[in-house]
Amino acid sequence: MRWSVVVLTLIPTLAFAAAGQEQRLCAAAIEDGALAAEVELLASTGEYQLASADQLLTLDCDGETLLTRMIETTQAENLEYAVIDMGANVNHPLIAQEGGKLTVVQYLIQQAVVAPSVESREFAMDYMQELRDVDFNPNLLSLSMN
């Protein structure tokens, strides 16, 4: 009986702690080069575990995805870390939209048209092309071999 009370008491605390780590990741995503350091710090302390690059890219940052934040703030190094270093499949449906899910590449194409600034639209277009290039994104080699 006492254990169930302890467990039920800890659930909101654990949820709050995870929310705090998610906010740290969202903040790091819009700072030059900060995302890799924050992910590694959280992983090394065991405070927060990300299951995949997909989970990181779709992390909710106050109503928008972490990927959207990186596009809007043109964070090249953070985007490359999340997609290339963490091994995201850019051709796998991931970003929820009305009517289904878009792949990272499809989402970048969409953002190249609808992003709020010229800089972020150009950034999305450039990275849509870069992430589809095997020389830039070596993860594509392993995806083509599967």
Q: What is the pTM of this model?
A: 0.82
Kindly give the interhelix angle for 118-131 and 104-114, rounded to the nearest 10 degrees: 160
Nearest to 128 by CA among 141, 115, 144: 115
According to the model, what pLDDT value does residue 47 have?
Answer: 76
Task: Give mean pLDDT in consecutive 10-residue pieces for the chain, a chain of 146 residues.
Answer: 42 48 96 95 84 91 96 97 94 91 96 97 97 93 59
- The length of the chain is 146
Q: Can you give the pLDDT at residue 143? A: 52
Whether the CB-CB separation of 7 and 21 falls below 8 Å is answered with no
At residue 99, the pLDDT reads 85
The pLDDT, as a whole number, for residue 98 is 87
Q: How far is CA 50 from the centre of its chain?
A: 10
